[in-house]
Amino acid sequence: MSQKAFASQADLADKQVSFTRLSEHAYAYTAEGDPNTGVIVGDDAVMVLDTQATPAMAQDVIRRIREVTDKPIKYVVLTHYHAVRVLGASAYQPEHIIASHDTLELIRERGEQDKASEIGRFPRLFRNVESVPPGLTWPTLAFSGRMTIWLGRLEVQLLQLGRGHTKGDTVAWLPQERILFSGDLVEFDATPYAGDAYFKDWPQTLDRIAALGPEKLVPGRGAALTTPEQVQAALSGTRSFIADMYASVQEGVKAGKDLKTIYKDTYAKLKPKYGHWVIFDHCMPFDVTRCYDEVTQYPDPRIWTAERDRQMWEALES
């Protein structure tokens, strides 16, 4: 029997939602470490970044958007392919759903398995899962590298700055206001989920985000960051977590230790520094497993299925 409830199955307490205004055009929908949604209000239309996990949950985002504007929600941007980020898309009835080509590729390759896996991991986030229409959320527009969208006179740059949380990660940058929406490339007081990550690439991708010089930032999880100092803290926190985990796993592999021993060692090393972050216990088994894979024999992440989730959890947590 597992010592811990599987993934986030014991996490059933509702979170307090905040809708934070970062500028005339930018808002952050956050909920104490639950997945965030970004909102950009242009001259003629609204863009939503990451959708919430179900259309029922997305209705609360829409309600808050309608408190500040009646402009049509024309664009939904998927910062990456994970189900908690994309399955609420239908609620917005957008003209276009935008993602990187790499994200589209991942949806084709593993979208169904990921959907089943995540619904099993996060019962609270997938409440009203019956409101999700059959099938997957498919982009209607895909880009490689960068794409610029003008919401009237407001420039929104969609950028792929490198692999990190997934291979398809996209950020949205408002150059006129120096505001960045990072998706799960950056977290704040929340543990980075790295089960589909590229550990070697992620720090360099964070350096590219820092090079843009964002003064405000909406992370994937955690509070909206409203000063350059907070942005810097989130970037360095995320970077150090990824680096510390990679160093610990690499050291264990070099010493010839097996995955379970490396997991226990790495958990013990990282717990004092990061254990207070949201979803630490949830993420650690997935993160260490992916890191071990990358250090040993799998440059690209293996597909998580509901069954693989359970087997991994039993092996590491029992």
Between 7 and 26, the more confident residue is 26
> What single letter denotes the amino acid at residue 292?
Y
Which residues are paired to 28 by β-bridges?
A: 20, 38
Residues in CB range of 284: below 8 A, 6 or more apart: 191, 263, 266, 267, 270
Q: Stretch 177-191: mean pLDDT, rounded?
A: 98
Structural domains for the chain:
18-317 (3.60.15.10)
pLDDT digits (tens, 9 = 90+) for 114-161: 999 999 888 888 878 888 999 999 999 999 999 999 999 999 999 999
Residue 258, φ and ψ in degrees, nearest 5 = -85, 170
- Distance, CA of 36 to CA of 47 (rounded, Å): 14
**pTM, to two decimals:** 0.95
**Beta pairing, strands 216-219 & 179-183:** parallel
The pLDDT tens digits for 76-119 are 999 999 999 999 999 999 999 999 999 999 999 999 999 999 99
